Amino acid sequence: MSRINELFKQDLKVVNMGLESFYNDLKAQKVETIHMNWRPRAGGNPKMLALLKRLNTKK
Protein backbone atom coordinates (compact mmCIF):
# COMPACT_ATOMS: atom_id res chain seq x y z
CA MET A 1 0.00 0.00 0.00
CA SER A 2 1.35 3.41 -0.93
CA ARG A 3 2.16 5.95 1.78
CA ILE A 4 -0.54 8.31 0.57
CA ASN A 5 -3.20 5.74 1.48
CA GLU A 6 -1.67 5.44 4.94
CA LEU A 7 -2.14 9.17 5.30
CA PHE A 8 -5.82 9.07 4.49
CA LYS A 9 -6.42 6.31 7.04
CA GLN A 10 -5.47 8.79 9.79
CA ASP A 11 -7.45 11.76 11.05
CA LEU A 12 -6.44 14.59 8.76
CA LYS A 13 -5.23 17.96 10.01
CA VAL A 14 -5.46 20.37 7.10
CA VAL A 15 -3.92 23.77 6.49
CA ASN A 16 -5.77 25.41 3.63
CA MET A 17 -4.10 28.01 1.41
CA GLY A 18 -5.92 29.82 -1.33
CA LEU A 19 -9.63 29.46 -1.96
CA GLU A 20 -11.58 29.71 1.28
CA SER A 21 -14.36 27.48 -0.09
CA PHE A 22 -12.03 24.45 0.30
CA TYR A 23 -11.72 25.32 3.98
CA ASN A 24 -15.47 25.76 4.36
CA ASP A 25 -16.21 22.39 2.70
CA LEU A 26 -13.78 20.54 4.99
CA LYS A 27 -15.12 22.35 8.03
CA ALA A 28 -18.66 21.31 7.04
CA GLN A 29 -17.41 17.68 7.02
CA LYS A 30 -15.96 18.21 10.51
CA VAL A 31 -12.36 17.83 9.31
CA GLU A 32 -9.89 19.70 11.51
CA THR A 33 -8.86 22.63 9.28
CA ILE A 34 -7.31 26.02 9.56
CA HIS A 35 -7.41 28.59 6.81
CA MET A 36 -4.21 30.50 6.20
CA ASN A 37 -4.61 34.22 5.55
CA TRP A 38 -2.68 34.22 2.29
CA ARG A 39 -2.82 36.23 -0.89
CA PRO A 40 -0.63 36.17 -3.98
CA ARG A 41 2.22 38.74 -3.83
CA ALA A 42 0.89 42.20 -4.71
CA GLY A 43 -2.50 40.58 -5.33
CA GLY A 44 -1.03 39.17 -8.55
CA ASN A 45 -0.87 42.66 -10.09
CA PRO A 46 1.86 42.36 -12.78
CA LYS A 47 2.69 46.07 -12.74
CA MET A 48 3.23 46.13 -8.96
CA LEU A 49 5.19 42.87 -9.08
CA ALA A 50 7.50 44.42 -11.67
CA LEU A 51 8.01 47.54 -9.53
CA LEU A 52 8.78 45.47 -6.43
CA LYS A 53 11.20 43.31 -8.42
CA ARG A 54 13.12 46.40 -9.55
CA LEU A 55 13.60 47.45 -5.91
CA ASN A 56 14.83 44.00 -4.92
CA THR A 57 18.09 44.33 -6.84
CA LYS A 58 21.20 44.10 -4.71
CA LYS A 59 22.99 46.92 -6.61
Partner 1 sequence: MQELINKANAEAVDRIQKAQPKVVGIGVALNDIPGMTKKTILHAGPPITWDRMSGPLRGAIIGGLIYEGLAADEAEAIKLATSGEITFDSCHHHNAVGPMAGVVTASMPVWIVENETFGNRTYCTLNEGLGKVLRFGAFGEEVTTRLKWMASILGPVLKEALALHGPIDLKTMIAQVIQMGDEGHNRNKAGTSLLIREIAPYIVMTSYSNEDKIDVLKFLNSNDHFFLNLTMPAAKSALDPAANIPYSTIVYGMARNGTDFGIRVSALGDRWFTGPAEIIDGLFFPGYTKEDGNPDIGDSVITETSGIGGFAMAAAPAIVQFVGGTPADAVNYSTMMYEITEAENIAYKIPVLNFRGTPTGIDIRKVVETQILPIINTGIAHKNAGVGQVGAGLVRPPMKCFEDALEAFVIKMEQEGIL
Task: List Cα–Cα distances, 39 to 4, 27, 28, in angstroms.
Answer: 28, 21, 23
Q: Does 36 bind partner 1 (CB under 8 A)?
A: no
Binding segment for partner 1 among 1-9, 10-18, 22-30, 42-50 (CB under 8 A)? 42-50
> What's the closest the beta carbon of residue 10 comes to partner 1, in angstroms?
30
Q: Based on CB atoms, which residue is closest to partner 1, 9 or 58?
A: 58
Binding site for partner 1 (CB under 8 A): 37, 39, 41-43, 45, 47-48, 51-52, 54-59
